[in-house]
Chains A and B, each alone.
Chain A
Amino acid sequence: MKCREFAGVVHELARREQLDPAIAAIARAHAEACPHCGCQLAEAERLAAIVQTASAESRRLAAPPRIERELLGAFRREHASRRTTRAPRRFGWRPAFGWAGAAAALALLAFTLLHRAPDHRSSPVVRASAEAAATSVPAPRQAAPARNSVTTPAQAVQAASPETNLASEFVPVPYSGGFAPGDSAVIVRVQVPRTSLAELGYPVDETQGSGVVQADLLVGEDGWPRAVRIVR
């Protein structure tokens, strides 16, 4: 093992975690033979120890009881209003107007666009890299002209709807699985309920009622939305 390779495993070695036993044995032998890497391992072990101390110390931290009381109040109000207005919902993907509902309804369209016309001007196809899709895609400051084909989410943002007045960047949909390298996606414009915005980190103003807002969905080949962008 070379010093550079050792640097790539030293922290996992120090924590004795998720490291192949054979590699761990080779790395330990290297640390014993190489004074520099031996020092690195000792430092990594001290770091692991103090991070573990910090982790244990942090376990006392929790939201104050006031938050639970406030949420319970909200829970009671929500269910009181449901009793008077509609039957209780089951959990899962909502039909018709939720993110999933919108995506499912358009999945076939998205898939068709994806495979039928990758170079058609009105169907921006995204070759999303896993790294870029795992984080938010920055929205352009100005609308850019449409392109025939795009290869990154950022390009997709520019290619889609040049007339769009964007209110946000793409925000990952929680637990949507992200993108693998080479995955494709399309951008589909839909209307979504205002209350769904809370999942994306937007404040939901209860006084604005249960209206809808326009949004662009970044939909994967499987029909599931990966990221959402709000449109004014």
Chain B
Amino acid sequence: MSDAAELRDELLLERLAAGDEEAFQALYRRHQGPLYRYALHMTGRVEAAEEVVQESFMVLIRGGGKFDPGRGELAAFLFGIARNHVHRFLEADGRYQGLPEEGPEALAGQGPAPFAREDADPTARLIDAETAAEVRRAVLSLPERYREVVTLCDLEEMEYERAASVLNCPVGTIRSRLNRAREMLAEKLRVTLAPRPAPRISATSAFETR
């Protein structure tokens, strides 16, 4: 596994096509996280995110679809597939308004965030978790085209050029949408952005599990 994990996507795809299970695992582990988070932030639904990841990788399993390394990165290709599935889910689930108020079950059992130090102040970590949940709820309430750019560029920290290739639009469109999305986000989070007198200590999740 350790060998495969260091190989480039193109080589792993060649091996995958020949039936190499380790190559598939390496590709899956490299790309599933960003795809899952993208789908989760876009839909707010854990089961939808799982389905999107599954369907995106099924395309690779069935033979790689029409991915051509000469035209771009595998990550962008997979995001493109995931995006179509997310769009279809949102269309089918048009009545969904998002912003469920639930406990932290969606985050349970997934281990600590890589950035989180185990010795960090527990109160500070709870505040971070609550802040993150508020941001996710606000992102979920954005119109789809703005939610996409915030999810890709701000939450997944994707470069503008890469986001442009995923969304099939010019970089200038990414910039302008992102600026508008951030304005809307600032409006929705105005209360959170104001200095708070005292920290609250209960974390909630923006993601719904059913």
User: Which residues of A are in contact with B by a Cβ distance under 8 Å?
Assistant: 7-8, 11-12, 18, 43-44, 46-47, 50-51, 53-64, 67-68, 70-72, 74-76, 78-79, 82-83, 88-94, 98-100, 130-131, 133-136, 171-180, 195-196, 198-204, 226
Contact = CB atoms under 8 A, between A and B. Distances in A.
A179 B168 CA distance: 8
Contacts, number: 223
Interface in B113-153: 113-116, 128-129, 131-132, 134-136, 139, 145, 150
Interface residues of B, number: 88
- Residues of B contacting A: mostly: helix
Nearest to B53: A63
B19 A47 contact: no
B182 A74 contact: no
A68 B25 contact: yes
Contact of A90 (B17, B57, B66, B185): B17
B18 A74 contact: no
Contacts of A74: 58, 61
A178 B36 contact: no
A128 B176 CA distance: 20
A199 B21 CA distance: 22
Nearest to A83: B19
Contacts of B169: 130-131, 134, 178
Interface in B83-99: 83-89
Given A72-B24, A74-B58, A175-B76, A53 B132 contact: yes
Contacts of B24: 71-72, 75
A7 B183 CA distance: 9
Interface string B52-80: 01110111011111111101100011011
B103 interface: no
Nearest to A76: B21
B202 interface: no
Contacts of B63: 89, 91, 94
A225 to B, nearest CB: 9
B179 A8 contact: yes
Contacts of B189: 47, 50
Contacts of B183: 7, 11
Contact of A180 (B53, B116, B167, B170): B170
